Each structure stands twice: as C-alpha cells, then as structure tokens.
Structure 1
Amino acid sequence: MSGQVVLVTGGGRGVGDGIVQAYLEAGATVEICGRSTPDSLREVDGRTPHFSPVDVREPDQVASWVEDVVRRHGRLDVAVNNAGGAPFAQFDAGSARFHAKVNDLNFMSAVYVALAVRPHLRTSNGSMVNITSISARRPSPGTAVYGAAKAALESLTASLGTEWAPEVRVNAVSCGLVATPGSTDHYGDADQVARVAATIPRGVFASPLEVGQVCVFLSSPLASHITGAVVNVDGGGEVPAFLQHTPNA
C-alpha cells in the first residue's frame, strides 16, 4: 500500500495501534486522531503516524481534519472507523446523556467520517473499513447501547457498500475479544483472562495486529470484489453455553 494515505480514528492505542502497525508495515502513510495525544506513537521502519487532536463526536472537527489531511497529502485512499468503546454500566444506571455519548462515539462518529471522506475516496477508488464488535449480534448486558451502536454500524456498512458502489468499497471487521493493555482492567487478573479466553474456540484473545491485518486485506486489491461485508475476527466466536452442560462435549 505504498503511496496510499490511510486515516485511522482512535489510532493511538489498543486495537487502533495494531491497525496502524499493519498499515505502516504495508507501506502506507497513516494519519490518526484522538481527543488526547498518545504517550507514544507506533513506529515501523522509522516511520510513525501523524497525530491530530480531534473529537470524532464533533462533525466540524472531523471535516476539518479530513480536509487538512487531503491538503497536506493531496489524496486519501482508506478511512478506518476504529474509535469506540464504552464503560461497563447497567442500562438503568446510565442517563440519557450518557447513552447518547456512547452512541455518538461508536456510531455517529463513523457517520461524520463517512460524510467527510466520501468525495476523496470516490476520487481514489478507495475504501472505508468500520470496526464493529461481536456485541452487535448477541446480548451485550452492561454495554447495551454500545452493542446497539455497533449493530447500527454494521447496517450502515451494508447500506453504504451498496450506495457507494462501484467507486468506493465499504466493509466492516467484527472483533471478538482482543488483547490490549486494558484487557486486565476489564476482565481481571491473568488467571481470569485465561478463563475468559477458554470460552473462545481458538483459546486465545486476538492481537490488535491480527485485527489490523484484516483491515489491510479488506482495503487492498486482494479484496477488490468485497463490499458491504462484515468479517469476523473472533477466533471462532464463543463456545455455545449448552456445551458446558453436555457430558461428552
């Protein structure tokens, strides 16, 4: 992907860091954004992404960022909507404002990016990749609006894959459990993380780089006839609960 310019929202840490690494390894020029400057930036062969302070929940900031990137590089080839997440909280404990912010970060931010990048991706015959979650298609207690927002993002992916064809391809990567620095904060100590990993058929969490490599594939010529698709990167999903109670399983 040498010579191509890639945007990654929330690319400074966690899954975003793995996505950035994958695109840098593929030779791309990478631009990232976030609300606060990362403590460090991913480096590959002496190259690092360029960081811009942007709140992706604000459409004017998103539009200005995209225009600045295109002005500096003269082109835009790929946009990855990675920014997202939500603190664990029972639905009734969250205020209307809290739930709106979760939706803004996980769904509306992708809408704002899509609106801003559309004309530039059409010029380059580029692509957009949306990062969704296993929570989009199964119950997500404690992060109910997060799961609903990710389901909306998968629906948007399918719709834009149709609307924007044939000039621009739009796909999504649905993440299962991913090993990030925040994993132990969410799941507990190493023993608890291992117990959670045992519920995944492959027996391990994904690495952020594994997610990033699928993003690179989807935005490369190797995926030229794939659009409107959701690709699962989840190690086989989750072991069905009934198997825990089946004697011969």
Structure 2
Amino acid sequence: MSADSPKVVLVTGTSSGIGLAAAVSAARAGWTVVATLRDPGRAGALRAAAAEAGVDLDVRRLDVTDEASITSAVEGVLADHGRLDAVVNNAGAGHVATLENESVAEVRKVMEVNFFGVLSVSKAALPHLRATGGRLITVTSVGGVIGQPFNEAYCAAKFAVEGYMESLAPVAAAHGVSVSVVEPGAVATEFVANVGIDLETAVADAGVYAPQLQAYLARTVGQFTDSAQTPEGAAEAVLEALTADEPAFRLQTSAWARDFVGIKLGDLDGSAVLGLTRGWTA
C-alpha cells in the first residue's frame, strides 16, 4: 500500500439520492470510489452521473442485509485496490406506519436494513480502516435525533445508529479511526418511492389513525416537494466528513437541519419536541 496512491472509499446505497451524489463528489475530489448497490441493474443513473462529471467509479454489488455480500465486497476492494480508507454507510429504506397498524416483523425488517446493515458493513470494514487511519461515516437523518409521527420504526433505527456510533467514536478514535454521522433533513428524492407505499391505500387502511396520517402525509409530501435540499447539497456534508482534517462527529446537511436538531439537543424535558411534532398530525 503506497502512501501516494489515491485513497479508497466504499459507499453503500448509490443507486440514487445522497449515495449517488456522494460517490460522484468523492470521485471528483480525487478519491477512488467503490460505489455499491444491492441491484447493479439499477446503476444506470449512477453511471450516467459519473460520465457527466467525467469521473470513473468502481460499481459493485453489496446488499447490507447479506453477510456474504458484505464480505465479498470488502474483500474485493482489498484485493483490487489494496486499501480501504473510508466507508460511507448510506444504504437504507424509509418506512411509514404506526405501531397498531404494523407487525413487529415489519419493524424488525426496518431495523435490519437501517441499523444492523450499518453495523455489519462497519464491522467488516473496521480492521482495514484501522490499518489506514480511516473514516467511518454514516448517513442517518434528523429523524435520528427527533422522533417523528408515523416514522416510529424508521426513527428508532436511526436513533439506534446515532447512539451506536456516538458510543463507538471514542473507542475507534483510540485506534486512529474517525467516526461521523451525517444528518439530512428532507432531500429532493422520491419520498413516496422511498417509503414504498400507496398514500391513498395507507390512509384507507389506517383505521382510527387515518386523520392523523393524512395530515402527516400532506405536511411531509409538501416538504419534500417544496423545500427539500438537493442530493448534491446534502452530499457536501459527506465530503466534509471525508476530507476535513478533524471532522465533527455530527454534521447536518443544511441550516434547516441544524436548526431542527438543535430543538432536541436543547430540549431537556421533551416539551419543545412534542409541542412541534403534535402539530404535524393535527
């Protein structure tokens, strides 16, 4: 491993959105980027963005819920590039439901992708990040700081990721590995496609919770439509975590995200957060 060779970063969940933008921006900044996704057949937008930016990406399969896939991807990076300097855990899936209207099995599935998938990739990568004094970066969400109505399972997974990484950070730092989390708010990707539901059907099936769900969806879809940040803007925080001399543990992707999570971090009794989120379902 030559000190002069380009640094290598593995990014998960690069078929669209922040993962795609982060992969391209890292390549433009001079990194060798291994851009992974569960289904390489969905890499068309990724390859087109790379071509438009004039950069090369090493596109590979990685399913964060499949241990064999993770092992194969990490071992392949080491075999072909000789080093691993950073990981960006971006792969995840949205989920909208409330406890009475979903099974515990569905909640476990959300945790499997958004929490255990992050842990599995991080565990496989850590020995190699120790060897390079590397960086472990996880894209979480403002929903990993403030719980949001009808996002109980999703927010629980993101809370868990934030707690795990905050706890891991000083342990990893003692061995030269920097740990950071990146917290986006609404990003201009397909909200409905990401959560995988038909909105009308979801409301019709919500039973006593239908009025609250309808109000929440109207507010949230409007936010994603009217005031969302671009994936490229959000990816700037990922690039900062990759390149800063001493990256912060917690990075928000916009002024709105900083203000939003600031409500929670200064809310000792919880009244400010609940006063805010109750209004989303009224």
Contact 1:131–1:172 (CA under 8 A) maintained in structure 2: yes
SS of 1:218's partner is helix
- The answer on 1:178 being equivalent to 2:190 is no
More helix by share: 2
Q: TM-score by structure 1 length?
A: 0.83
Give, in angstroms, the shift of residue 113 of structure 1.
1.0
Deviations 1:14-42 (A, max 9, x none): 22111112112211111122221224123
Deviations 1:79-120 (A, max 9, x none): 000011223222222222211111011011111111111111
Q: TM-score by structure 2 length?
A: 0.74
In 2, Cα distance between equivalents of 1:129 and 1:119: 15
Deviations 1:148-185 (A, max 9, x none): 111111112212210111411000001100011x1465
SS of 1:85's partner is coil
CA, structure 1 residues 65+195, in 2 after alignment: closer, same or farther (shift >3 Å)?
Answer: closer
AA matched with 2:133: N
In 2, Cα distance between equivalents of 1:75 and 1:47: 20
In the alignment, which residue of structure 1 is the partner of 2:211?
none
Contact 1:176–1:235 (CA under 8 A) maintained in structure 2: no
AA matched with 1:76: L
Give the paired residue count. 233
In 1, Cα distance between equivalents of 2:91 and 2:43: 17
- The answer on 1:21 being equivalent to 2:42 is no
- The answer on 1:111 being equivalent to 2:119 is yes
Residue pairs, 1:116-127, within 5 angstroms: 116-127=124-135
In 1, Cα distance between equivalents of 2:153 and 2:85: 31
Q: Equivalent of 1:50, from 53, 58, 66?
A: 58
- The answer on 1:164 being equivalent to 2:172 is yes
AA matched with 2:168: L
AA matched with 2:18: V
In the alignment, which residue of structure 1 is the partner of 2:146?
138
Contact 1:2–1:26 (CA under 8 A) maintained in structure 2: no
CA, structure 1 residues 192+153, in 2 after alignment: closer, same or farther (shift >3 Å)?
Answer: closer
In the alignment, which residue of structure 1 is the partner of 2:72?
64
In the alignment, which residue of structure 1 is the partner of 2:158?
150
Structure possessing the higher relative contact order (Cα contacts under 8 Å, 6 or more residues apart): 1
Contact 1:126–1:219 (CA under 8 A) maintained in structure 2: no
In the alignment, which residue of structure 1 is the partner of 2:15?
12
What percentage of aligned pairs have identical amino acids?
27
Q: RMSD of aligned C-alpha atoms?
A: 2.8
Q: Any runs of at least 4 consecutive aligned residues in structure 1 with deviations exceeding 6 A, and if so which?
A: 191-194, 239-242
Contact 1:204–1:235 (CA under 8 A) maintained in structure 2: no
Unaligned ranges ≥5, structure 2: 200-217, 264-271
